[in-house]
Amino acid sequence: MNELNFVNQLSARGYSRRDFIKFCTVMAASMGLPLSAGEKIASAVESPTRPPVIWISGQGCTGCTESLLRTTHPTLEHLILDMISLDYNETLNAGAGHQAEKFMHDSIEKNSGKFVLVVEGSIPTKDGGIYCKVAGTPFVDIVKETAKKAAATIAIGSCASWGGIPSAEPNPTGAKGVKDVLPNATVMNIPGCPANPYNFTSAVAYFLTYNKLPELDSQARPKFAYSRLIHENCERRPHFDAGRFAEQFGDEGHRRGYCLYKLGCKGPVTYNNCSVLGFNDVGSWPVKTGHPCFGCSEEGVGFHIPQFVEANLQKESLFTPAATPANIEYQRGGNITATAAGLVGLAVGAAAGAGIVATRRLKSEEEAGNQ
Amino acid sequence: MTIKRREFLKATAAGGALMVTGTQSASASTAGEHIPPRAVGILYDSNLCIGCQACMTACKEANNMPPEHSGQRDTWDNPLDLSAKTLNVIKMYREGEDYAFIKRHCMHCLEPACVNACPVSALVKDRETGVVTYDASACIGCRYCQVACPYNVPKFEWDSPFPRIQKCQLCDHLYEEGRYSACCEVCPTGASLFGPVDKLKKEAERRLQMEPGKYYDFPVNHIEKGKTRRHEAKRYIPHIYGSEEVGGSQYMILSGTEFSKLGLPQLRDRSYVKDLEGIANTFYKYLIYPVAAFVGLAYLAKKRDHHE
Amino acid sequence: MSEAKPYGGRVLTIPFIVGLLVILVMFGFLVQRFLYGLGPVSGMNDGYPWGLWIAYDVNVGTAFACGGYAMAILIFIFNKFEYSPLLKPAILTSFLGYALAGFSIFFDIGRYWNMQNIFLPWHANVHSAMFEVALCIAAYCLVLLIETAPPFLQKFKLNNIEKKLNKVLFIFVALGMLLPTMHQSSLGSLMVLSGSKMSPLYWSQALPLFFLLAALLLGYTIVVFEATLSGVAFNNPSELNILKKLSAIIPWVVGIFLIIRLQDINARGALDAIFAGDLAGNFFILESLLLIAALALLIPAKNRADSRKVFWGAFCALLGAGLYRFNAYIIGFSPGNGWHYFPTTPEILITFGIIAIEILVFVWAVKRAPLMPFPGKKSQA
């Protein structure tokens, strides 16, 4: 039996091909692709000509890798990763040290122009990038060198996408995202802290199927996951629209699950699909547990704007009407200030006064004239 | 035999009722001035409206209008009424348990008072589509259009040193792209329906014939695109608002609640434009009277000169 | 008839300086209007887009300025040449009134830089009542300017120009009687269009006729009012006798006006609106009471021999007719839907400034130009 035969691998782990197709169909749907794309994805994943993936880590916490491991379509994920041939990942490598490095360099040479580079963690650039070195080489140089030979580069996590937590003020190491270090390369960002693993796997499956990256927005994030604000898909949105807010942790509103906007929720300024997809396969995400979103995936929001500063509502999402429309009629205009009323009175008085004075003099003049 | 007679009577009564309402709506469709050849408009059905206000958001987006904050917090776009920032507004009528929604914006009248009023032709009625449009480059800001409009539609930018008039223009800037009024594009129930005025009128009449409680197919978004949605018909006030009021308009309204309760003014059929045109024609047609008067007065003035 | 001559004397009196201060305040608020828009400075809103400036400065102001028009009709059509001495100051008041109404329009309209569009054929909408008003008022301002010129041409010793002008003056006199007939009635036509938003007491298809009658009435009464005041101020009782004759005409106009109005309201079945107790009804009663007071004061011939009763009678008619015109634009106009209006302090002060300009220029003209005959005074250079 050919160990690498996909169908055999599936059955060995107790999954029928039909289950696999179903999975690919769901993945297609989550990317906003037509259901028929599920078949295409399936055949792409099965195909033996899948490129290897080199996964390098910089100034990171490895949370994104851990996140990926927490996906509980268990064996299927491992299958996909296996079949993708994850040639190098510092967390998952069997070997270590020089042996691991050699394996990576060999794979890069052998698959030059065909492999997918995944970068996790931010890239320090200050002082020649000495604040993160792997095997003696500054990480910034590793990224530049490796990306040159890659077919595509994926930045997983906020750190790799735009600098993440190391880039918080005062950013002592000059931490930057991949796109800032590789201005001319084709980079796809999957921000998040950690990134939602399904955003990553879906994007990779898309790439395998269509041999190109999915549609990206102006910050190189896949639109299927990052085109809407958290606020647009939040389950507490009706509370926002109706003006029901939690004012403090533990208060009545908080217990009732009201909107967390006043507690500094950054949902209105953060693009991601956490509210839709959820994490850990139980659909949980911060707001659901009662903690306001802090915008971990959004550059300029996460780790930059303090938690309890209210989000500055922007135009696109936001200005939707409140839950209750306007009444048919309102009283407005016509405020009478005391000064204004006084002036009107003054005018009337002056005219009357002029008249009275005039007629008095008229009387005396006429009497003088008659004499 | 008895049964047959009863059935016959029932049928006659029903037919008679139909004829009465039928003639009512027929008369509604013959009212109104010259309707432009490709007149487009909107049919709004208050019975279908759920007050979701998607039309308001779509209008703001399509016309690049800013949000309007009437409450204490600036978290929503919640205008109280049409304004210089809001071209389309949903309002809610409430009385006890009773409620209904109404969508207010420019009526695009067949005899627009604003068009007659404007001294510089900043407001004009398109000859083909009948859309009443506004041209700020011509406008002098005299606000006569605001005085003239029976529906209080045109709004003014009071807080700007370079103020414009703002009103709905049926999204005519989108027609080129093959789109239509944004409010109708997003309406989920078909309450706001776009299309040629004659087709909308027929649809309105069809609805007035519907039996309350029965389910029918209602067109959604654009009456010619063929999409429909199944709804239960509710009781309608037997009148199409806008079919006759001050000469008729291209925005028509159906409702189960009395129109006056929804804030719609009760207007006569004859437009006030006709009254003014009558006066103008009587005194100024071809300037005959003014010229004759001038000649006579000049004679008298010259005579006085000699007398002096 | 004695010759017109300047009154002389000091122009910069205390009241004059107070007037200058009021004008200064006006300009301050006008700066605010041009920098920040109409909203911050006035109480006008989307329900009441026309406020004090249109309803008073333009609407009532031009009617007050119909002195010249009203007098010209008497003199030229009815050959009442004895009224001639009243003509020149009336024309000056007319010119000032119309010019200041034009100035008020300039700062009231929102997009003043497009003002010339009214006169451009490719923009002008000849069906618009506002177009007719604007064109007619502009033409009349020119006519008034020319008619006002003679005393000032004399003052500045431009006698040749004055002679040439006098030869063709009759054309302008004729225009000066035609144009106000047209635009004063059209000011009423303007409000015909908003019939659905007007009280039945103030809307009618005969609005142009009522506005014209009111303009005539205001023309006669303003002449009496202003001639009495200036006669007292400048120690010139000679004109008072002419005024007594003029006051005989006023009750006729008041009477015709009242009768036609009441019948018009009756014909539309709206008589009970008078006592409805609302704003429109109450102001109708006020304006009618003022007009009836004028009738009571001026109908008895004995009263018309008394300058005081003449003055008060004319004043009541002035207020009544002026109030009518104002009511037709503001009080009788109710857009519904919860809208209200009251002018703000800056709005009122700007109007005070306009009135101050009118009075101050008139006073300066009486003192410095040969405007009125002063029999007791010697001619001054």
- What are the boundaries of each domain within chain B? 5-30+273-307, 40-270
So what's the pLDDT on residue B191?
96
> Are C132 and C274 contained in the same domain?
yes
Is residue C58 in a domain?
Answer: yes
What is the residue range of A185's domain? Answer: 50-225
- What's the mean pLDDT in A239-266? 93
CA distance C98 to C133: 12
What is the residue range of C353's domain? Answer: 13-42+347-364
Q: What percent of chain B has pLDDT over 70?
A: 87
> Are C31 and C88 contained in the same domain?
no
Q: Are B192 and B234 in contact (CB under 8 A)?
A: no
- Would you state the CATH architecture of domain B40-270? 2-Layer Sandwich (3.30)
Domains contained in chain C, number: 2
Q: Torsion over CA of C298, C300, C301 and C307, rounded to 10 degrees?
A: -40
> Are C70 and C30 contained in the same domain?
no
Q: Could you give the ipTM of this predicted complex?
A: 0.91
> Are C217 and C164 contained in the same domain?
yes
State which of A11, A29, A48 marks the end of a domain: A48
pLDDT in tens, A132-179: 998 889 999 999 999 999 988 999 999 999 999 999 999 999 999 999
Read off the amino acid at residue C124: A
Neighbouring chains to A with at least 3 Cβ pairs closer than 8 Å: B, C
CA distance C130 to B148: 11
Q: Which of C47, C75, C182 sits opposite B152 (nearest CB)?
A: C47
- Going by their DSSP bridges, the two strands C372-373 and C4-5 should be labelled as antiparallel
Is residue C5 in a domain?
Answer: no
Q: How sure is the predictor about A370, in pLDDT bands with cuts at 50, 70 and 90? A: low
Contact A320 B77 (CB under 8 A): yes
Nearest CA in chain C to B274: C193
Q: How sure is the predictor about B234, in pLDDT bands with cuts at 50, 70 and 90? A: very high
CA distance C222 to C236: 17
> Are A245 and A184 contained in the same domain?
no
Q: Which one, of C51, C49, C326, lies nearest residue B141 by Cα?
A: C49
Q: How sure is the predictor about A86, in pLDDT bands with cuts at 50, 70 and 90? A: confident
**Structure-model confidence comparison of residues C371 and A112, the more confident one:** A112
Q: Which of A337, A347, A358 sits opposite C311 (nearest CB)?
A: A358
Q: To the nearest whole number, what is the mean pLDDT of chain C?
A: 89
So what's the pLDDT on residue A183?
87
Q: Are A210 and A172 in contact (CB under 8 A)?
A: no
Interface of B with C in 247-266 (CB under 8 A): 263, 265
Q: To the nearest whole number, what is the mean pLDDT of chain B?
A: 87
CB-based contact (8 Å) between A328 and chain B?
Answer: yes
Neighbouring chains to B with at least 3 Cβ pairs closer than 8 Å: A, C
CA distance B56 to B187: 10
Is residue A194 reached through a cis peptide bond, with omega within 30 degrees of 0 on the bond before it? yes
> Are A298 and A322 contained in the same domain?
yes
Q: Are B272 and C192 in contact (CB under 8 A)?
A: yes
> Are A318 and A361 contained in the same domain?
yes
Q: How sure is the predictor about A1, in pLDDT bands with cuts at 50, 70 and 90? A: very low
Is residue C212 in a domain?
Answer: yes
Q: Is the pLDDT of residue B24 over 70?
A: no
pTM for this model (two decimals): 0.80
- What's the mean pLDDT in B269-273? 95
**Structure-model confidence comparison of residues C244 and A220, the more confident one:** A220
Is residue C159 in a domain?
Answer: yes
**Structure-model confidence comparison of residues C78 and A201, the more confident one:** A201
CB-based contact (8 Å) between C154 and chain B?
Answer: no
Q: How far is B5 from chain C (nearest CA, A)?
A: 50
CA distance A59 to A66: 15
Locus of tokens 């049919």: B43
Q: How sure is the predictor about A34, in pLDDT bands with cuts at 50, 70 and 90? A: confident
Q: Is the pLDDT of residue B235 over 60?
A: yes
| H and E: helices and strands count for chain C | 13, 3
CB neighbour burial string for B47-77, b if at least 16 within 10 angstroms, e if fewer:
bbbebbbbbbbbbbebbebebbbeeeeebbb
On chain C, the residues whose CB falls within 8 A of the CB of B144 are: 128, 130, 190
**Structure-model confidence comparison of residues A38 and C204, the more confident one:** C204
pLDDT in tens, A253-263: 999 999 999 99
So what's the pLDDT on residue B25?
31
CB-based contact (8 Å) between C381 and chain B?
Answer: no
Other CB atoms within a 10 A radius of the CB of residue A249 amount to: 12
**Structure-model confidence comparison of residues C198 and A15, the more confident one:** C198
H or E stretch covering B124: strand B123-125
So what's the pLDDT on residue B8?
46
So what's the pLDDT on residue C173?
83
> Are C234 and C110 contained in the same domain?
yes
Contact A362 C307 (CB under 8 A): yes
pLDDT in tens, B11-21: 444 444 433 33
Nearest CA in chain A to B92: A327
Q: What percent of chain C has pLDDT over 70?
A: 97
> Are A163 and A276 contained in the same domain?
no
Other CB atoms within a 10 A radius of the CB of residue A112 amount to: 12
Q: How sure is the predictor about C356, in pLDDT bands with cuts at 50, 70 and 90? A: very high
On chain C, the residues whose CB falls within 8 A of the CB of A361 are: 232
Q: Is the pLDDT of residue B28 over 50?
A: no
With H, G, I as helix, E, B as strand and everything else as coil, classify residue A278: coil
pLDDT in tens, C263-288: 999 999 999 999 999 999 999 999 99
**Structure-model confidence comparison of residues A90 and C110, the more confident one:** C110
Q: Which of A261, A321, A330 sits opposite B53 (nearest CB)?
A: A321
On chain C, the residues whose CB falls within 8 A of the CB of B265 are: 196, 336
Q: Is the pLDDT of residue C171 over 80?
A: yes
Q: How far is C156 from chain A (nearest CA, A)?
A: 32
So what's the pLDDT on residue A365?
64
So what's the pLDDT on residue B272?
95
Q: Is the pLDDT of residue C108 over 70?
A: yes
Is residue C99 in a domain?
Answer: yes
Q: Which one, of A120, A121, A138, A137, lies nearest residue A129 by Cα?
A: A138
- What's the mean pLDDT in B25-42? 64
- What's the mean pLDDT in A102-115? 85
What is each CA distance from C18 to A346, A356, C24, in whole angstroms? 15, 21, 10
pLDDT in tens, B134-193: 999 999 999 999 999 999 999 999 999 999 999 999 999 999 999 999 999 999 999 999
> Are C191 and C331 contained in the same domain?
yes
So what's the pLDDT on residue A358?
83
Within B144-287, where are the H helices?
144-148, 182-186, 197-208, 272-284
Residue C8 exposed, middle or buried by CB count within 10 Å (0-12, 13-18, 19+): middle
H or E stretch covering C241: helix C240-246
Q: Which of B51, B67, B75 sits opposite A325 (nearest CB)?
A: B51
Q: Is the pLDDT of residue C366 over 90?
A: no
Interface of B with C in 82-121 (CB under 8 A): 82-83, 113, 115-121
pLDDT in tens, B65-116: 988 888 666 778 889 999 999 999 999 999 998 999 999 999 999 999 999 9
Which range, B288-292, C161-165, C238-242, is most confident? B288-292
Read off the amino acid at residue B218: F
> Are A39 and A180 contained in the same domain?
no
On chain B, the residues whose CB falls within 8 A of the CB of A329 are: 263
Q: Which of C49, C114, C191 sits opposite B143 (nearest CB)?
A: C49
Contact B156 C49 (CB under 8 A): yes
CB-based contact (8 Å) between B273 and chain C?
Answer: yes
Is residue C134 in a domain?
Answer: yes
On chain A, the residues whose CB falls within 8 A of the CB of B255 are: none
Domains contained in chain A, number: 3
> Are A340 and A239 contained in the same domain?
yes
So what's the pLDDT on residue A48?
58
So what's the pLDDT on residue A40?
77
With H, G, I as helix, E, B as strand and everything else as coil, classify residue B250: coil
> Are C189 and C322 contained in the same domain?
yes
Neighbouring chains to C with at least 3 Cβ pairs closer than 8 Å: A, B
Question: Among B82, B83, B85, B142, which would you mutate to test the C interface (most chain C Cβ atoms within 10 Å of its Cβ)?
Answer: B142
